[in-house]
Every structure is written in C-alpha cells, then in structure tokens.
Structure 1
C-alpha cells in the first residue's frame, strides 16, 4: 500500500511540476532580470561567444537571508505543514553560498588549471521550500555523515524552475528545492545556502563503504539523504522536456560550470552521485544522458578548495 502511495505521489508531482515549469515567470512585484553588465561576461566558459540567458527571479526574496547554521535535533511532533525556515532582516549575499578562498596554496591536480569562472546569480528559494540541517536524527542518534553531492536535471526551463522554488508552498508534498542550478549557458544560480537542507530527494539513501546512509528528519516522511546532501541540478535541453530515458545531453558550458562548482566543495569523487542512484522509489532517472567521464576529466582541471562548506561542521560538538 505504501509503495502504491509513493508511486501515485511521484506521478502527481511529475505532472504538477511539468505544468508549473512550463509556465512563464510569475508576474509579481520585485521580479528582477539578470543581464550581463559587459561583453566580457558574454564569453562562455568554453571560449565561444554566447549571449547569456536572461534570468528572472524575485529580488524581494533576496532581502531576507535565512538564519545561519543548523539545529540539534528535529521535533518529534512537527506542525503540519512544517514551519518555514526562519529568516532574518539581512539581505543574502554571494558570501553565504561560497566564501572567497585564495587558491595559491591549494593542490592543482592537472598540468594546466582552468581559471575561467561562470556568471553567478543569487535567487533565494522561498522559505517554505527548504529547512534546517540537523546534528541528530529523530531518535537522537548522531547524523554526522560526510557531505555528498547529488546531481539532478530540471526537466523544465531555468526560469520556470526558479519561479517554482520561489513560490511559497504550504503543501509539504510539493515543497522542493536544489541548492544550486546550472543553466544551459553555464550560469550558476544559487537557491539554498549550503548550511541549509534543500528538499532535493524524497525516499533515498547513499550506499558507501560504511553502509546505507540516510537520515529521517520528519516522522511523516521516510529517511533521505537531504540532511547531508548538496543538490545541484542541470537545466534540461529542449528535447528532454519529456519522460524519455535519454536526450541530447548538456552543454560544454554546463559541464565546465559543474566542475568549477564541485571543486569548490572539495567533496571526493566517490561521494558524488545522482538522483537516480540514491532514489529508493525507482521513479527517478535523472540526470539523463550525463557524461560522467567528461565531468571527471574536467573536475581534475580545477583547484580543489573549501569555498562551499556543506552542513554543520562548526556545530558538531553538540552531537556528543
């Protein structure tokens, strides 16, 4: 019965998201259009001249950054629907998503490192669509798994995806988010800070040498990897807006931006996975047509840093 319910929910969500993501960005006050300020930003990472996409997002949401950090343990009886993430009156900045770290002393794993960087945009998700990371699970056991990176694809446009995540959803079954989105032109859009828990995967687990890794943070939902995952999604090409198992693939600019971004997390290759691999419902197949060999090759061309710190390392003293 539970499996049938999960399958029904998955079909409903796929249909709902497809309808929403195909829509135009919301016509509300405070919608900003991000355009390049100069011609230098019109050069894609692959060196070809490509005009950047116009990215639409609610500038008003960026005016309230979420409270920094993590909570010790999730409530045993959370309100329904769950309370939105607590916000401050301080505008969010790029520094919240990645700290600038000098790379002169980092180890470069290739003869010739790539130094180009993508366009970066902050488009904070609505507070209902992400939550806190926790140092302990519902039963009080430590939830200190090392971070993983989960790769996704949007099956929708960049602007449609941003619009959906910036809508305040009270229905927990459709609350969703990624930490970061990479557009067709390679633009990197930050949606949820890395210290917060993006709702990128449902019933899921990561299998490592240590065993099955997952954390339950809500008694109404199964365990998932969200508490220690950093979710990155690639914008799907036009011929992939369907349920087929393959499409034409992602652009070189997207692969380069992905490698650039992942290198800043310093997460090891063996802890980089996909939505398809970690999903336990059997309904997820993304990111389709992903070239993992190309990604690994590009990743070695970037210096590894800790500019993006995933999770709650500074607060793990509370786990003892």
Structure 2
C-alpha cells in the first residue's frame, strides 16, 4: 500500500471518530438535569404560574346603609377597591426562569374544609424560606418520592443565587413548606389541620418561596448568620411577589410561622431591602366602583 493511500485512510478514520465524539457530546449536553425545563420562550411557563399567584385581592368595601330607592342623580352606593398594579420598574426587570417537576408525594391539593368538615376561607399568605443547601440538592429531594408524611416537603418556587426563578409546585396546589405552623396577623391566629396524622399548619393557604442559601452556609446547622443573599435574589423575589395580590402584612417567614421555634430561615434576610424593591415593582391603587 502506498504511503499516500495509507495516510488518506488514517485521516478518514480520524474525522469519523471526531464526528462521533462531537455528536455524543452535543447529545449529552441536551439532556435536562434534575428534570428541569430551561426554555424561557415557552409561554406556558410564563403565564401558568405568576399570573395565577392567588386570585384574592386586598379589598375594602365602604357601602352605604340600605336606603329607599332614589333617583340616579342622587348617587349610587359605591365600593372602594384597592388592588396592586405592577410598575414601569417591574416591566424593565425580567429574570431567567425555568420549571422543575416535583414528585406528587411531596405536594397535594388545597382544601376548603378542615378534618372536621368545618369550612374556612383564609386569605393567602406568602412564606419566605431558604434551602440550607444548594439548589440542586433541594430539587433532588423534592423529586424523590417520600412515603413518610413527616418527611414530605416542597416549595412553590425557588430563587437561585443568580436570581433564576424555578417554578416547582403550581400555586393552586398545596406545597409542604411548613409543618407545625400558625400565622399571627390582623385576623388573629390562622392555621388549618387537613391531615389527622399531622399538626395544623399554614400550608393550605400559603405560597412558599425559598432563596438558595449562600455556599458559606451549605449544610451547616445552628448558625446565627451567613453572608446573606445576592442582589439578584432580592430583585427576583420582589419581581415574583409583585405579581400577586398578597398584601405586605401577609408576607412572612418560616421562622415567624414555626410553632416549635426550631426554624430560623431565611437567615440574614434584609426585610427592608426586600420591601423597598417590592414597592418599586408594585403599587396599591384604589378606585371607586359604582354598584349597579
């Protein structure tokens, strides 16, 4: 065999092997990790979650007492409605967002009555958390089936250190974000028992959002503080909550609702910074609506 023919065959074999390696690399890189969809162009992800983040609005009705029928020129009873609207600052900020599936054992349905069949109608609250470890660790846990009801856990959404919003459990479902818990608000103590095997909790009327813990605190217990959350996390948290009608006084923390007192998250959370950003992204507007 001449040297030129031999060299040609070697080059052909080399190119074939290179093409095969490239194809395997590209195919592997396209496999989703942690069962996460990473397409920001999917309108389902954008519309399904933030826009349905609890339908209730903060309303106050000021209605005149019953009066005899009067001519329309004398005026009609009015009601005053206050509702949050997003601002120009909100429209200028759009974080990266993805969706990750959660195993069905780690979330459930919302109920309209407790275990005794007593109906309730609590207004929604938002509970803020932190992961205590990496985002991938939290998602792996939520995607693992758990038969033990005391172990089952999930959030509705998670915000990474880079400010990426990961939608986990749909808002209309009940995430298992807080165990034995109560919310102390303007209406008094609020909690609901929906499982006879578990203590009452706020889960049935709560939307749970978690911030990824900074790496310096990953896996550490009994710490009093850490380096805190990134600017992007505060921005994305405010962006997410600005799309809800949940008022400021019904936004709370895992630490505040925990009955046993063992939860401290979100640790090192700057509440003033968050509220300032939230107020820049939404404003409470009041208008009169004539009652027909």
1:142 shift after superposition? 1.9
1:275 shift after superposition? 0.3
Superposed CA offset, 1:93-141 (max 9, x none): 543323399xxx97456x8556211011010211100000001111122
The size of the alignment, in residue pairs, is 220
- Establish whether residue 285 from structure 1 lines up as the match of residue 237 from structure 2: no
In structure 2, C-alpha distance between the alignment counterparts of 1:304 and 1:273, rounded to whole Å: 19
Give the match for residue 197 of structure 1. 174
In structure 2, C-alpha distance between the alignment counterparts of 1:135 and 1:193, rounded to whole Å: 17
Where do residues 1-320 of structure 1 align in structure 2 (5 Å cutoff)?
Answer: 32-33=31-32, 56-58=33-35, 93-99=45-51, 107=85, 115-241=92-218, 242-243=220-221, 244-303=223-282
1:143 shift after superposition? 2.2
After superposing on structure 2, the runs of 4+ consecutive aligned residues of structure 1 that deviate more than 2 Å are 92-96, 98-101, 105-109, 111-114
In structure 1, C-alpha distance between the alignment counterparts of 2:85 and 2:98, rounded to whole Å: 27
1:168 shift after superposition? 1.3
In structure 1, C-alpha distance between the alignment counterparts of 2:179 and 2:268, rounded to whole Å: 22
| TM-score scaled by length of structure 1 | 0.64
In structure 2, C-alpha distance between the alignment counterparts of 1:172 and 1:143, rounded to whole Å: 23
Superposed CA offset, 1:250-293 (max 9, x none): 00000000000010112100000000000001110000000000
1:163 shift after superposition? 0.9
1:204 shift after superposition? 0.2
1:167 shift after superposition? 1.0
The CA RMSD over aligned residues, in Å, is: 2.6
In structure 2, C-alpha distance between the alignment counterparts of 1:179 and 1:204, rounded to whole Å: 17
In structure 1, C-alpha distance between the alignment counterparts of 2:164 and 2:158, rounded to whole Å: 8
Question: CA, structure 1 residues 95+288, in 2 after alignment: closer, same or farther (shift >3 Å)?
Answer: same
Higher alpha-carbon deviation: 253-262 or 163-172: 163-172
User: Structure 1: which 5+ residue stretches go unaligned?
Assistant: 1-28, 34-55, 61-91, 306-320
In structure 2, C-alpha distance between the alignment counterparts of 1:280 and 1:106, rounded to whole Å: 31
* 3-state SS in 1 of match to 2:126: strand
User: Structure 2: which 5+ residue stretches go unaligned?
Assistant: 1-27, 38-43, 54-82, 285-292
* 3-state SS in 2 of match to 1:99: helix
| TM-score scaled by length of structure 2 | 0.70
Query: 1:115–1:302: 8 Å Cα contact kept in structure 2?
Result: no
